[in-house]
Chain A
């Protein structure tokens, strides 16, 4: 008995946490999936109904609008963050004296909550008293900047604030990647007469493939889940012009008494994350095995 206990102690120690994860992560996801197959409105109902909620979801113009916004946001957010991240990390890698200070400045927005970021940018983007007034005070009297209250542009204000918050983090990832590259390679290329520009384009950036991968996965993940920033900055408005799937889901679940529909939208979000993360984890684990 004592021997058995001793032998299985590691498993016994890990099992409460593991049970918690199985129940609260996987069990709950399955519950949500099942509810998406029922007619649940305000309270969950457990009679099976089929995939009608998914038809309702995809024929719902508001959901379509949210998905479209997510696509616009994701493309801009990922591309701009990565461009800024690469640029800043390469510039910082040129043996700058104030590097530590600049790094801190570029990174600090990441430690702020999206609510704080949203509140700050909401004030800066205020159509009458924010940046618009600043620029008109500088003498450009015709300048208007009303994206926050403009139906066609409101989604881009979320991009602006999100890029401000997350691009420094991408810089940090790329800088760490650059630092891990062997100096000898760069030196050898220099001796061969390659310019610094072509060294970066043809040698270093291709070597940063893993960093590209992790940055893209992390940024995609942030954008699919983006909720707080939308709430704090535009609350999905004006109207539903800056709505996103995560906002749609909470609206349906907690304000419109559409639990079934909300679950269907949550499952769609879950599947999207799955499609991004699983191939990534798979390749990462394979890479680790190959190294080991």
Chain B
């Protein structure tokens, strides 16, 4: 009697575990298929950029290159010496660097100051001020393009990297203020009070007490701003053209204006150079 029961239970358990293994496999296969879906374009970009045009025409998207050639990377980065007037990315890559670094630094610094003033030195109407900052994150930039273009013209900095630095610094302020404000809200006011009793003033507390513990939010803000400004196309394409263009604009021009024969390998190499991939962003964005 007892053995029978035992056997029955073992059977039930076995079928349950078989069912569990089946679901486990289904789970992994589904996750795997999605992983392939997200990775496929990356794979296609890389192998296409390493093929010759001859091979691209003969094979298909997935066929591996018979011979790995880096020519298209060279062409995308520094052009061909015999073809005058073709677009290549090197100068525009540096344009983007010259635009991103100051714009990120300026917007992050003022965002930190604003966040600090809004949370640790509350004043009447500070919530309204914050709300007005916050809404700046959401406006469609089409609503400010025309006046901005005119303003840059009046200031004499249209079609220049300086102009783009100004624009990105201004419209980054909303985001940086939001980030720092939300971070400083969670820092206990007692710290500030203690420093004030010790006689520290507004700036001293900011630089000596708050900034040293702001590393996590500085990293988040810098990554966010860097990615957004690097990836921007709307401002870049409206406020600059020709030599002052940032890399996204140059990349788009390059893909659009292949005059004679379309060179997909060069396009893909250029796209790869134009992408800015930050591991920290993806690794850090989900906790747990």
CB-contacts of A101-115 with B (<8 A): 102-115
CB-contacts of B8-47 with A (<8 A): 27-28, 30-31, 34-35, 37-42, 44-45
A contacts with B: majority SS: helix
User: B155 at the A/B interface (Cβ < 8 Å)?
Assistant: no
Report 9 cross-chain contacts, Cβ distance below 8 Å, ordered by A residue: A20-B170, A25-B132, A102-B35, A123-B45, A124-B61, A224-B140, A263-B146, A270-B142, A277-B135
Nearest CB in chain A: distance from B104 CB, A: 15
The total number of A-B Cβ pairs within 8 Å is 251
Residues in A whose Cβ lies below 8 Å from that of B118: 14
Residues in A whose Cβ lies below 8 Å from that of B34: 84, 88, 106
Nearest CB in chain B: distance from A159 CB, A: 14
Q: How many residues of A contact B (CB 8 A)?
A: 91
The list of the 5 closest CB pairs from A to B, nearest first, reads: A113-B231, A10-B121, A28-B144, A10-B117, A228-B233
* Residue of B141, B147, B267, B285 touching A123 (CB-CB under 8 A): B267
* Residue of A87, A116, A253, A265 touching B274 (CB-CB under 8 A): A116
Interface residues of B (CB under 8 A from A): 27-28, 30-31, 34-35, 37-42, 44-45, 48, 56-57, 60-62, 110, 113-114, 117-118, 121, 123, 129, 131-136, 138-148, 150, 170-171, 173-174, 177, 201-202, 227, 230-234, 237-238, 248, 251-252, 255-256, 264, 267-268, 270-271, 274-279, 281-283, 285-288
**Contact A105:B38 (CB < 8 A) given known A111-B278, A228-B234, A277-B135:** yes
Residue pair A120, B147 in contact (C-beta under 8 Å): no
* Residue of B136, B138, B275 touching A112 (CB-CB under 8 A): B275
Residues in A whose Cβ lies below 8 Å from that of B57: 129
Taken together as a complex, chains A and B put the C-alpha atoms of A179 and B285 apart, in Å, by 13
Residues in A whose Cβ lies below 8 Å from that of B138: 221, 273, 277
Residues in B whose Cβ lies below 8 Å from that of A134: 60-62
**Contact A253:B145 (CB < 8 A) given known A10-B123, A172-B285, A281-B134:** yes
B contacts with A: majority SS: helix
Interface residues of A (CB under 8 A from B): 6, 9-11, 13-14, 16-18, 20-22, 24-29, 31-32, 35, 44, 84, 87-88, 91-92, 94, 96, 100, 102-117, 119-124, 126, 129-131, 133-134, 137, 164, 168, 172, 175-176, 179, 221, 224-225, 227-228, 231-232, 235, 245-246, 249-250, 253-254, 259, 262-263, 265-267, 269-270, 273, 277, 281, 285
Nearest CB in chain A: distance from B106 CB, A: 10
Residues in B whose Cβ lies below 8 Å from that of A117: 41
Residue pair B38, A176 in contact (C-beta under 8 Å): no
Residues in A whose Cβ lies below 8 Å from that of B177: 17
Residue pair B140, A18 in contact (C-beta under 8 Å): no
Taken together as a complex, chains A and B put the C-alpha atoms of A250 and B40 apart, in Å, by 33
Taken together as a complex, chains A and B put the C-alpha atoms of A28 and B146 apart, in Å, by 8
Residue pair B282, A31 in contact (C-beta under 8 Å): no
**Contact A119:B251 (CB < 8 A) given known A88-B31, A281-B134:** yes
